[in-house]
Amino acid sequence: MIEDKRWKGVYSFDDSPYLMEILTELRDKETDSIAFRKGLVKLGRFMGYEIIKTMETEKVKVETPLEETEGIIVKDRRNVVIVTVLRAAVPLMEGLVKVFEHARIGIVSASRGKPPKFEIEMNYVKIPQITPEDTVIIADPMIATGSTLVRVIEEVKKYGTPKRLIVLGVLAAPEGISRIKERFPDVEIFVTKIDRELNDKGYILPGLGDAGDRAFGAPIKLSNLPQVHPIE
């Protein structure tokens, strides 16, 4: 885990060959949806382990079958709220829940409009009460312009003030990170890798395409479906 010198509290995992191998498979345009989803689950789980390294621990006494010894518990692991940004973050959440099995789950449906305004529409929000003891992890694979996540963070903060607020993603563009940190300096960001830039359509380069479409298939408009007419 490497802290990026351009921002405070922004971490990537370029130093992990395992995560870089998974990311390489996700970037490959030939990777099918099943393998793509499995890759996101793996990233969510491993990055969850890395987040645990930054959490508060407490020493405890434990009785083995032979004698008493000293161990630890990760106190913060029992006070986690995972907020999933539909739909691409669902596999990431699956991986995170394997690590934070006590987590409470929030769901947000947010979509980004077309350039250049990239207006954000939110039409579904279900977030549990947040307490000062909680670590909130907002899962969204792609941190592109940052506009979606700024809007999601604003919404999350209506439900309480957590101990920590973390954004977890797969890829990020510098522009998106800067937008989030300018608006919320205390938010921590953990991503597999920080990519080069955005293109004029707001996609990360070199990126991996649309994470939602690649994980679950591209949506189709009903108007494009063949029309079926009843037989008279």
What's the N-to-C CA distance of the chain in angstroms? 67
CA neighbor of 137 nearest in space, from 85, 176, 98, 204 = 85
144 is in an annotated binding site: yes
Residues in Cβ contact with 73 at an 8 Å cutoff, skipping those fewer than 6 apart = 57, 58, 60
149 is in an annotated binding site: no
The H or E element that residue 155 is part of is helix 147-156
222 is in an annotated binding site: no
185 is in an annotated binding site: no
113 is in an annotated binding site: no
143 is in an annotated binding site: yes
210 is in an annotated binding site: yes
Contact present, 98 and 48 (Cβ < 8 Å): yes
Any idea what the Cα angle at residue 115 is, between residues 85 and 12, rounded to 5°? 45
38 is in an annotated binding site: yes
112 is in an annotated binding site: yes
- Distance CA(216)–CA(194), nearest Å, equals 24
- Distance CA(229)–CA(226), nearest Å, equals 10
- Distance CA(20)–CA(27), nearest Å, equals 10
186 is in an annotated binding site: no
137 is in an annotated binding site: no
CA neighbor of 98 nearest in space, from 57, 43, 150 = 43
135 is in an annotated binding site: no
176 is in an annotated binding site: no
93 is in an annotated binding site: no
- Distance CA(27)–CA(87), nearest Å, equals 18
179 is in an annotated binding site: no
148 is in an annotated binding site: yes
40 is in an annotated binding site: yes
192 is in an annotated binding site: no
The annotated binding site for GTP is made up of: 38-42
The annotated binding site is made up of: 38-42, 87, 112, 140-148, 204, 209-211
The annotated binding site for uracil is made up of: 204, 209-211
The annotated binding site for 5-phospho-alpha-D-ribose 1-diphosphate is made up of: 87, 112, 140-148, 210
